[in-house]
Structures are given as C-alpha cells and as structure tokens.
Amino acid sequence: MTTAAPALSVEGLSVEFRTRSGIVRALDSVSFAVDKGETIALVGESGSGKSVTAYAVMGILDPAGKVTAGRAMLGGLDLLAAKPGQLADVRGREIAMIFQNPRTALNPIRTVGRQIADVLIRHGNVPRRDAPGQAIDMLRAVGITDPTRRAKAYPFEMSGGMCQRVMIAIALAAKPSLLIADEPTTGLDVTTQAVIMDLVNDLAKEMGMATIFITHDLALAGQRSARIVVMHAGHVVENAPTEELFEHPRHPYTAELIAATPDSAASLDELASIPGSLPDLRRTNLPPCRYSERCPRKIDTCAQPLPRSTSASGHMVACWNPLPERIANVPTESAA
Amino acid sequence: MLTMILKRAAMAIPSLIGVVIVTFLLTRALPGDPAAYFAGPAATPQAIQEVRVKLGLDKPLIEQFGRYVVDLGHGNLGNSLTTGQPVLTELRTRLPASAELTLLGLLVSIVIAVPLGILAATRPNSLIDHACRLITTLGVSLPVFFTGLILVYVFYYLLGWAPAPLGRLDVFFDPPPQVTGFYLIDSLIARQPETFVASLKQLILPALTLGIFSLAPIARMTRASMLAVLSSDFVRTARASGLSSFTVIVTYAFRNAMLPVITTLGMVFSFLLGANVLVEKVFAWPGIGSYAVEALLASDFAPVQGFVLTMAVMYVALNLLIDVLYGLIDPRVRLEA
Amino acid sequence: MTDIAAAPRRDAALTALFRHARYVIAENPVTGFAFALFVLIVLAAILGPNIVPYNPLSSDTAQALKPPSAHHWFGTDQLGRDVFSRVIVATRLDFFIAVASVALVFLMGGLAGVAAGFFGGWTDRIVGRIADTIMAFPLFVLAMGIVAALGNTVQNIVLATAIVNFPLYARIARAEANVRREAGFVEAARLSGNSDWRILAFQILPNVFPILVVQMSLTMGYAILNAAGLSFIGLGVRPPTPEWGIMVAEGAAFMVSGEWWNAFFPGLALMVAVFCFNLLGDGLRDMVDPRRRT
C-alpha cells in the first residue's frame, strides 16, 4: 500500500434493507480502499453484498435501503454524508459506474450520442454546441466504428457489446478518477467479454483512473486486477494482492472459491462446490462470522466478534482460524 | 415515418367499415316501421309511404346498404325533421362548439392529472400520493352530469362567480367572425378581448366538469407509469451519471413514462366523447351532443344516426392520431422494418 | 364421483375461501368497508319498498320542493314526492340493471371469448372482428344509438350495456382460455368423452370466472352510471319510475335555482354505489391476483 491518499476509502459501511419479512442486514462493517490508478476486484457469490456496496457508495440504493454506519471517503468528501446536491456533482465527474445488462441500462428513446452529450454538458464544462462532437469522439475512444453515424442510433439498434461500450463512454465522458464496474461482462459472449475488459483496462491506464471490478467470476477478477477483495454475506473476509490471494488464500471461504473455479483441465465430476448456503440475513441472531455455520474450520473462538489481521505485505483476513501462510492442497497447474 | 402513418391508416379502414355497417343496422333495427320513425309522429300514412320509398325501405337489404353507402359518400346524412336542414350541415355548424369544449376539458384534465401523477410517484406514500389515490378512486365514481350540476350550484348559485349555464356566450355578446369556429381562437384573431373573456367564462365550468371526469384514468396511469420508470435500469444509470434531478425526472423518466399514458388517451377519448353529450345537456351547450339529444326527444331519428356515425368516425381518426403521436415519441415503433 | 365425496371437498374449499377473504379484509380495512356497504345496498334493493316511510309514487303538490327536514329527510321533489323514499326504492331498479347487465355480458362475452380462445381459427377471427367493431365507437354513444334504435326499456338498457362491455370480457376470457387449452384437466375431460362444448361450459368457463369477477364488480359500477346517463338524456327509464339517473335529470332544472336536494341525493346515491363497487373490485382483485395491486 502506498502512503498517498487512496482514491476511495470505504470504512465500516453497514447497510440495512426494510422488507415485508423483516430487516435484511445486507452489509456489516465493510472496509476496503482503492489507491489512485489501482484496479481492484470485489468478488463474491450472489447475495454477498458486492453490488449493494457499490450502490451505497454511489448513493443509488433502493429507497428501502439505509446506510446505518460507515464512511466512504472520496478525496476529502464523505459520500455517505454528502447532501444530494454535492452527490449529484460528484457522480459522473469524480466517480462513475457501469452496470450489467447494458441494453436496459440505456434510455431506450434517446440516441446514444445525446446520452453521452448529457453527461458532457452536465459535468464537462462543455458548451452545448460542442457536446455532440465530443460525444462522437468518446464513441471513437471506446472503439465503436463509424461513430458519426452511430451517435444517432438508439440502444435497441445496437448489440449488447456495443451498448456496453456506450455505457463506458457515458461513464468516462467527464473523466472520473474512479470507475465502478458492476458485472460489466455478464451476459456478453466470451470474446466480447475479453474485449470489453481490455477496453476498460486500457482506458483506465490512459486516464490514470482507479477501477473497482465487481464480479462473481474469480478467474475473471484474477486476470485484470492488482488486488482482490473477497466478500461473503455482507462481510469482507479477505483482501490481498491477486497473486498472493491465489497462491496463499487464508480465509477458508476464499480457498473454497478458488477450488470451485472451473479449471479448463478439470472434468465435470471434479468440479467442487461450496457446502451450505448463505445465511438468512434477516435473522437477528446472526453469528459475528457469517461463514462460521458452513465453515469446515470452525472453532469455539469463532463466536467472538471478527478480528481483522493485516500482514506486512498488505494481506488482510477476517478469521479466527485462517489457513496457514503456506497451503498444501490448493490445486495448482502442476498437480497430476 | 410516412410508411408507419400509412400502415396505421390502412388498419383503421376495417374499423370504419364496421362503423358504417353498424350504423346502417341501427337505422334498420328500429322497432316497428322505420319509415314511420323517420317520417315523424305527425306524418300521414301517405307521407310515411313517401319516406319509405325515398329511403328505399321497400328494397332488399343489400340494395339498401348500397344506397346508404352512396349517400354517405355524397355527404347525405338525411334531413332533420324539426329544422328541415340537412343533418350534415347542422353537424358541421355545431361541431366546433363540442370540439372546443372537449379539447379544453382534456387540457384541464392533463394539466392537473399529469403533475399530480408525477408528484405522487416521486413522493411515494406522502400526503400527495394518498390524495392522488383518493381523487382517482372518487373521480371514477362520480357521474359526470352530477359533477356538472354540483359545480353549477356552488359556483353559480351559491358563490355567483360563474355565469349562468346558458350556452357559449352571454346574450349581450355576439360571436366573433368565424375562422375556426372556436370562440376562444376566433375572438383573439378578431382582436375582441371582451368576447374572449366572455367565452372563457362560459367555458370554465363545463370544461372543468369534463376535466374532473377524465382526471382519474390519466392520473392513475401517469402515477403507475412513473413509478415503474423511476425504478428502471436506465434511470439508475442517469442518476449514477450525476445528471440533475430535473433531467432525470423530466427528460429521462417522464418521456418514457408518457408512452403508456398516450395509449390510455384513446380510452379517455372514448369516455370524453360520451360524457360530452351529458355535459352539453347540463350547460345548454349548442354542440352536436345536445343536437342529438334534442332530436331524440322530438322522435327525429336522422340526426341521431348522423351523430353516432360522426362520433365514431371522429373516434377512429383520434385513435389514428394517437398512434401516430406515439410513433413520434417512441423510435422503436418507427424504425421497426 | 358421489356427492358424499364431493361435499367435504366443497366445504373445505368454502372454508378456505372464507379464511382467505377474512385475511384480505383484515389486511385492507377499506375492502371490508366496501363489502359492508355492498351488503347495505343489497338490503336496500331487496327491502326498499317495504321500509320506506312514504309511497315513492304518491304526489302531494302542497308539499312540493320542501328542503330536507325531520319529516322528509331528503326533502320533496317538484311533485311533492318524498325524495328519500324514492332514492331508496330506486336502489332496486339500478341494482337490478347492474346485475342483469353484468350477468349478460359475462355469458355473452365470456362464452364468445373462451370459444375464440379454445377453438381459434375462424371463431377467433369473427369474435375479434365483432369486438373491434364495437370498440371503434365511443362506448356511451354506441349505447345511446342502441337504445335509441330499439326503444326505451330496461331490457334494452341492459342489452346496450352488455354489448358495450362485450369486447373487454371477450378479450379476458379468450386469453384465459388460450392458456388453459392445453391444461391437464381439459385433456382428461376430453379423453373421458366430453364434447368440446361441455368442456367449454363446465371446465373452462368456471375457471375463467374468478378472473372475470373482478371486472364484473367494476362493470356493475359502470352499468349504473351508464343507465343513469341514458336516463339523464331521456333515453332511459321513463317517469314516474324512481331511478337515480332520472331523478337527477328531473332535479337538474331546480339545482340552478337553489333547490339542490332534488338532484343531490340521487346523485350521491349513484356515487356511493359506484364507489362501493369499485372498491369491491379492487379488493376482489387483491384476493384473486395480488400481483396486480396498484
């Protein structure tokens, strides 16, 4: 970790949702940081709270959701305490987000050029008449061919991959310093996936922009990020540089995740799964470690509030009985 | 764009054919002797026979239908017994009165209902949301003629703010020179501000009555549609991009939300054209609705048939217009091959 | 299937229905209120003429146009008749018109719709054309035309209302029949030798009924408004029969000169009845299909 201030620092974020069947404690004291220009991945299974974290930071939580504790420091501003006016200024200009399902995430009755221009006019100090031209430039920058003609197209006339490029163009139009990408490639075919990931990476490097990739695909996360934050049931359970995480996972959940990641060499019967399922987050008697009920390494101390130990190499694990520094049984390429 | 309009127009043709057939059947479905009905209660048997021959009622049905269609093509809707005038002429003269009233009523309705629906959707469970729901449920239950009468009682009799419900203009005023037939527009064109104000005064209560009547479906649809759109993915993207509240709600959410509301307008027009007749009776408004009702009371049937036919044709045309308007706003409809 | 075996099943189904109804009413007291109001209206319709203080038809010109008082709760009309008695007695006629219209349109539209959805092909096309033609007219105008052509009787008002609502019921019934066409119990009925018409009438139509019931409650409100509207312009019931619409029409002239009670109370009755049916329809919809709650 560098000593310079991080681009985003999430500290102790807790979020609750009011539902008909009770209060869902979606996030409990989530903390992590992203350095300037760094690409990290937020990884976890469905329901782990990764998207909720992003929505909470961006201030676009569902009305039933409430931030009950924590800060999200972007520069000197606490996003969670900011007034709606401040927040609207910062969104798009300093911090931006792209979503899953790019087709539905774009306004269906507005041309893509105008949607990009809207952001440019709002944040980019661009005079109205220059905005359409700059929008075309943005389309070119995200790799859309014939951008002048495409700028007048509507989302329904474009493929999923192209719509995702447009969404990237919208997000990056005002040159934010941090981009959150929420499962941007889910639903796209494999070739397009790779292309989109490359695009985001390249643009991020060019602009010196920090990126948070949210994904359930550990392998995908491993390819592009410098650091991986693993979440489970609303907790951050491990946070380490990518290589370190894959070679020496310390949290039992991380180890299971890695083992469950399909390896191209493995056959179907060799596919491992993670035993048990996510605990019901509406329970009032949730244990301090939400993985303990399905954890093979559970010990008595696990009933205590979670510790957070960070090694010198920047490897954080929240576990009373973590795996030792060296693991013997993680399948590696050289295993028979 | 043009192809879409032509296609929609072509789809309206079967409806028009159906309308013509049904109105023909209604003419012939009169109980007893249709000729006697068209000749009127005071006719002699001789006169009835003349009418029978003239209407071709002694010929086979197919031939009668043919004559009916040919007559329609020439604009011959028969003559009114009470005035002796061709029905078409009288309808044409009286149509602007009804149109002015209905359009103003619709305008009042939209001006109140749409903002109400938007506010109710952007502030769920607030006072205004509950008020909106109450108004829409009540609005659907109020008989339109009852609303009209209550308004007259309160604003004319009790408060004296509104003029007597005696038609389009007070006796002291002359109608402005005819350009469109709409007194509001014509008086402005002729630079007669007093006439404008006088026409407006007479228009307020009946337009308000119609407006209150059509408020409910529009407000309900706007609210439901806005609620759905506000929780959609693309509004989330717009918010995440930091676009201003106004841009998000109006440019992004509202334009999309209006699409189902425009479709609802078709149904609203169906109600309005019917309610028009009732409101014209309450306010002694000289439009085509009261024309038909007066004719009915005098057992004069040709105007009633002409009225039903005209209303139906107007309705088909209005629906076509709504389809085209929808296509203008929604490119997905326009650009589909 | 003997009746003995069928009876406990029927009872169980009925108890389940009551329990569900009680739950919905507890969840939403407004529905309970609407239901209570509905019962009141039915009682007024049934018992009306027997419980009113005055004969609704007897005129007493000396008492004409008296405002509401202890003697005449709703005042008297221009012929000295007691408005309260007339309003209560009119419930029977208006309620009858509503029920008859709804029953007729359910039969006509329901049968045509399920036939169209079940058989498809020409049946579907013809029913569709008829429905489209009806919908090409502004509905009240068409009702006016029908009653004008056929004559001012209660039967014709009921017929006109049913015709005007036909497309909606046909459409809903058709959609439901389409879905159920391939259902298991239909196949079973077919295999045990039932003719298509028997299947339609006894298997499919009863299944379509709950979905239509919601619409029927709303249509009852519409039917009353329709009848009242037609009466208001002279195309409905003839005087001196007490009917809410006619009473408003007769009282309209006096409203302008300040005798408001004549037209106000029948109009209020109209509003309350329609309001009740609309609320009931919403409550029924919650019971039948909570997903469509607005």
pLDDT, position B7:
83
A170 close to A116: Cβ distance less than 8 angstroms: yes
C266 close to C248: Cβ distance less than 8 angstroms: yes
CB neighbour class for A264 (10 Å; exposed up to 12, middle 13-18, buried from 19): exposed
Q: Which residues of A touch B251 (CB under 8 A)?
A: 110, 118
Give percent above pLDDT 90 in chain C: 16
Who among C140, C221, C228 is closest to B274 (CB)?
C140
* Each residue's pLDDT expressed in tens, for chain A with a length of 336 residues: 455 778 899 999 999 998 888 888 889 889 999 999 899 999 988 888 899 999 999 989 888 889 999 999 998 888 888 888 888 889 988 999 999 888 899 999 999 999 999 999 988 778 888 889 999 999 998 989 899 999 999 999 998 889 999 999 999 988 899 999 999 888 788 888 888 888 888 998 888 899 999 998 888 888 888 999 999 888 899 999 998 888 888 888 888 888 877 765 556 666 667 777 778 888 888 888 888 888 888 888 888 888 877 777 778 888 888 887 764 445 544 444
How far apart CA A165 and CA A157 sit, in angstroms, is 14
Q: Which residues of C touch B164 (CB under 8 A)?
A: 256
Q: Helix C261-288 vs helix C83-119: angle between axes, to the nearest 10 degrees?
A: 30
pLDDT, position C34:
83
- DSSP letters spanning B214-264: HHHHHHHHHHHHHHHHHTSHHHHHHHHTT--HHIIIIIIIIHHHHHHHHHH
CB neighbour class for B335 (10 Å; exposed up to 12, middle 13-18, buried from 19): middle
How far apart CA C236 and CA C153 sit, in angstroms, is 7
Length of chain B: 337
Q: CB neighbours of A130 closer than 8 A, spacing ≥ 6? A: none
Tokens of B1: 């764009």
Measured between CA atoms, the residue of chain C closest to residue B220 is C294
How far apart CA B147 and CA B211 sit, in angstroms, is 10
Q: Provide mean pLDDT across the span C194-209.
A: 75
pTM equals 0.82
pLDDT exceeds 70 at position C4: no
Q: Among the ranges A113-117, B138-142, B193-197, C207-211, which has the highest mean pLDDT value?
A: A113-117
Subunit contact B233:A99, Cβ cutoff 8 A: yes
Q: Provide mean pLDDT across the span B190-197.
A: 86
Measured between CA atoms, the residue of chain B closest to residue A174 is B241
Length of chain C: 294
pLDDT, position A1:
47
How far apart CA A317 and CA A315 sit, in angstroms, is 7
The pair phi, psi for residue A221, each rounded to 5°, is -60, -40
Q: Provide mean pLDDT across the span C236-264.
A: 84
Global ipTM? 0.87
Tokens of C230: 């037609």
For residue A121, which amino acid is it?
I
**pLDDT tier at C214 (50, 70, 90 boundaries)?**
confident
A107, A158, A214: best to mutate for the B interface, most B CBs within 10 A? A107
Tokens of B290: 């009261």
C264 in contact with chain B, both atoms CB, cutoff 8 A = yes
Q: Provide mean pLDDT across the span C227-235.
A: 89
B242 close to A97: Cβ distance less than 8 angstroms: no
pLDDT, position C294:
41
Per-residue pLDDT tens digits for B161-175: 888 888 888 778 888
What single-letter DSSP state applies at residue B126? S
Subunit contact B312:C146, Cβ cutoff 8 A: no
Who among C146, C256, C275 is closest to B165 (CB)?
C256
Per-residue pLDDT tens digits for C140-190: 999 998 988 888 888 999 999 999 999 999 998 888 888 777 777 777 777
How far apart CA A241 and CA A224 sit, in angstroms, is 12
Selected residue with higher pLDDT from B140 and A119: A119
A121 close to A111: Cβ distance less than 8 angstroms: no
Q: Helix C205-232 vs helix B255-282: angle between axes, to the nearest 10 degrees?
A: 40
Subunit contact B143:C248, Cβ cutoff 8 A: yes
Who among B141, B305, B311 is closest to C278 (CB)?
B141
C38, C126, C137, C146: best to mutate for the B interface, most B CBs within 10 A? C137
Least confident of A44-58, B71-85, C80-94: B71-85
Give percent above pLDDT 70 in chain C: 90
Least confident of A20-24, B104-108, C224-228: A20-24
* Listed residue (A125, A13, A129) closest to A66, CA to CA: A13
Tokens of B226: 């806005």
B169 close to B202: Cβ distance less than 8 angstroms: yes
Number of H helices, E strands in chain B: 15, 0
How many Å lie between the alpha carbon of A247 and the closest alpha carbon of chain B?
36
The pair phi, psi for residue A18, each rounded to 5°, is -85, 120
The H or E element spanning position C105 is: helix C83-119
Subunit contact C151:B31, Cβ cutoff 8 A: yes
| 296-335 of B, contacting A, C-beta below 8 A | 329-332, 335
Please state, in angstroms and as integers, the Cα–Cα distance from residue A4 to each residue in A8, A37, A133, A141, B47, following that order: 12, 12, 37, 30, 106
A34 close to A7: Cβ distance less than 8 angstroms: yes
pLDDT exceeds 70 at position B208: yes
DSSP 3-state assignment of A173?
coil
Subunit contact B251:A90, Cβ cutoff 8 A: no
